[in-house]
Chains A and B, each alone.
Chain A
Amino acid sequence: MYKITLKKQLTKDIKLMGVLAPHVVKNAKAGNFVIVIPGETGERVPLTIYDWDSKSGVVYIIFQEVGVSTVKLGMMNEGDSVYSIAGPLGRHFHTEKYGNTVVVGGGVGVPAIFPIARALRSEGNRVTSITGFRSSDLIILEKEMGTVSDKVITATNDGSSGTKGLVTDALKSLHDTGEKIDLVVAVGPVVMMKAVSELTKQLGIKTIVSLNALMLDGTGMCGGCRVTIGGKVKFSCVDGPDFDGHLVNFNELTSRLATFKAEEKISLEHCKIHLAGR
């Protein structure tokens, strides 16, 4: 059991949580993820590590309440304990001096690019952050991204804040200003990562994406998170989660992510009925 030390509501359904887990924090690096089980009957849910504090041993995660597990997690409060948290998992983000870099985050993918931007910057790269949201009320981490970026571009689909349009529009505009981009890192919904990768392929810019495949153990034992990269099968938990965006079979990933769509609905309904009965 691991104590929740902090809980903050970021938007209507996005929450930040701090969990006391020194074993996760000790060797945590940008790009690592954890697997969390809210309660004893829960699922193992992979969540990217947003931040960590080596002194206190607290790891910070940010999640959107979309399924039964994130809803259950969201109902827990400071002082409560999560049943299980394992990590740090996955290969961490490989940082080197690239030059001019752009990190692109969509929605709840933004927390994942925060530590990556910080790591890139600490290696002496110039970092431009492009974050995209549907509308202004869904914007998260605007201030925080500013602390780890040389420049922040916020885009909203409806134009209610920042520039109007998608992150790909913002990226294209940035490129069109003549700025030479050496690396793009994109994390967010699969459609977004796919669109960014298609654009950067045309533009000839190396692109890294972080894949959110379904997982169980996160240690390479079950193979449920297999993805196809350049025609080869890889396990996103141990071979990733970062891959070359130009090689990812995004359509297969999208299809596999929908494996349990019907069950996820049943599960959420069951949870809600159970809660209503309390």
Chain B
Amino acid sequence: MAKKERLKVRQQAANERIRNFEEVPFGYDDNEAKLEASRCLQCKNPTCIQGCPVNINIKEFISQIASGDVAGAIKTIKESNSLPAVCGRVCPQETQCEEKCVLLKTGQAINIGALERYAADWEAANMETKAQVITPVLGRDGKQIKVAIAGSGPAGLTVAGELAKLGYKAVIFEALHLPGGVLVYGIPEFRLPKAIVKREVDYLKTLGVEIQTDVLVGKSYTIDDLVQDGFQAVFIGVGAGTPSFMNVPGENFKGVYSSNEFLTRMNLLKAYKFPEYDTPVKLGKKVAVVGAGNVAMDSARVSRRLKGVEEVHIIYRRSEKEMPARHEEIEHAKEEGIILDLLTNPVEIISDENGFVSKIKCVRMELCEPDASGRCGTKAIPGSEFIMEVDNVIPALGTKANELLTTNVKGLKLNKWGYIEANPETGATSIPGIFAGGDISTGSATVIAAMGAGKKAAAAIDIYLKAK
């Protein structure tokens, strides 16, 4: 064992990065990657792999990096994961593979995420992507069997990649003008550069995946249209989609953006480059983000980077311990000067005479006994209302099921929240041949959870098509 301590990833200093949208961590260089990889104990029973929703052979790829065979490492990763450059950056490794690393006991788990990212970035810099030769699976009519995929987020991309590798023709239909779903509209440039998403999507194209943007399944083409057009199976991975609001007075004043709207303006439509890009965003000096999940952190950190913004607050009704965001995101936010207003809850948004947000009225909260979900309940402290001057309010309170597609499919069983009822092991829905996965069946979760669901669904679709 060369080095006991987990090797820190170099990153942009906080006072620098709040002035740009460049990626925060630089990633390991060759030497650092080798050093970190060589700390791996190469366990006989590698528990890290059990922690990975797509079961990457982590032990193997780390050993390949340690021995300098990065080309081998990326090949190993891609056997299980079509989007390593994305996962290396946005997976919550601390609750997955790294949580299972035996070195965690010493507080020094291997930095698996950074190594995965390193291998993916090394490949992009050193290897040429060429169209792959895959033997097509043919149907009775002699043509390659086609599968339609609604949504090009992490679930859809994974299904497409897996099916393409098996020889099926995977056609993705994406409602927006760029593929990637939440990877392009939701996750900010400084956490996941859009060029990297494009690279991963281009890789899928080399596998023969076809992507049709600007197409809404359920609207442009119904599922029946797709079946009539010869698609033998359909995967629905359209995401959770519809933003939740606080339901307090004043929420429709100008200057209140849902986190989805704000991030879409900034990430997908590049409002931070306005007027070079046509889509505007209007933030004042003080911005309040409500909520404490990863999307709230993203919204706060993006706001912090916008010219003219001087103060960014996160308003959260529980305490720091209960914040659902990744630890790393909270730390990054704090380093960047974002102010946490904890045990605080908005009760009203107040506007100026022109209908723009000018203040937010909040109440102090206290924690009480855990509720049914196991999280602490909260209650407002009577008489503790106070007013904060803010120019914008960005509710980042999670999402609800988007009904655009689901209510347009006859016989598709939904649960009481409107999400698609899908078998968690196969993605099978109430309609044979229609599979679903990701947020539209589970509610808001992570990129990697959606990818895990996509992988299982692809395997199930393969079995379904072979039995057909």
Contacts and interface: CB of A to CB of B under 8 A. Distances in A.
Report if A and B associate in a common complex.
yes
A233 B280 CA distance: 24
Contacts of B252: 226, 228, 233, 252, 256
Contact of A86 (B216, B265, B403): B216
Interface in A256-278: 256, 258-260, 262-264, 266-267, 270-271
Given A220-B403, A222-B264, A267-B275, A26 B269 contact: no
Contact of A23 (B212, B255, B264): B212
Given A41-B278, A217-B264, A238-B403, A84 B177 contact: yes
A219 B404 contact: yes
A224 interface: yes
B435 interface: no
11 contacts: A23-B220, A43-B269, A84-B177, A86-B177, A86-B216, A219-B216, A219-B241, A221-B239, A223-B258, A260-B282, A263-B280
B260 A24 contact: no
Interface string B218-252: 01111001000000000000010111010000011
A68 B177 contact: no
| Category for how many chain A residues contact B | 35 or more
A83 interface: yes
B277 interface: yes
B11 interface: no
Q: Describe A's contact surface by its main secondary structure.
A: mixed
B130 to A, nearest CB: 25
B223 to A, nearest CB: 12
A262 B308 CA distance: 16
Contacts of B26: none
A223 B242 contact: yes
A258 to B, nearest CB: 7
Interface of B: 175-177, 185, 212-216, 219-222, 225, 239, 241-243, 245, 251-252, 254-255, 257-258, 260-261, 264-265, 269-270, 274-280, 282, 355, 402-404
Nearest to B225: A26
A223 B276 contact: no
B261 A224 contact: yes
A41 B212 CA distance: 20
Given A42-B277, A42-B278, A228-B252, 16 more contacts: A23-B212, A27-B220, A44-B269, A72-B278, A86-B215, A217-B176, A219-B241, A220-B241, A220-B402, A221-B185, A221-B239, A233-B245, A233-B251, A259-B254, A262-B282, A263-B275
B177 A221 contact: no
A224 B175 CA distance: 17
B219 A87 contact: yes
Contacts of B404: 219-220, 238
A233 B260 CA distance: 17
B261 A86 contact: no
A260 B280 contact: yes
Nearest to B174: A86
Query: Could you say which of B255, B275, B355 has the most chain A C-beta atoms within 10 Å of its C-beta?
Result: B275
Given A24-B220, A84-B214, A69 B278 contact: yes
Interface in A38-87: 41-44, 68-69, 72, 83-87
Contacts of A263: 274-275, 280, 282
Contacts of B175: 86, 217, 219
The 8 closest A-B pairs by CB, nearest first: A263-B280, A222-B261, A84-B177, A270-B275, A86-B214, A255-B355, A223-B258, A43-B278
B265 A216 contact: yes
B437 to A, nearest CB: 18
B260 A27 contact: no
Contacts of A85: 214
A13 B404 CA distance: 35
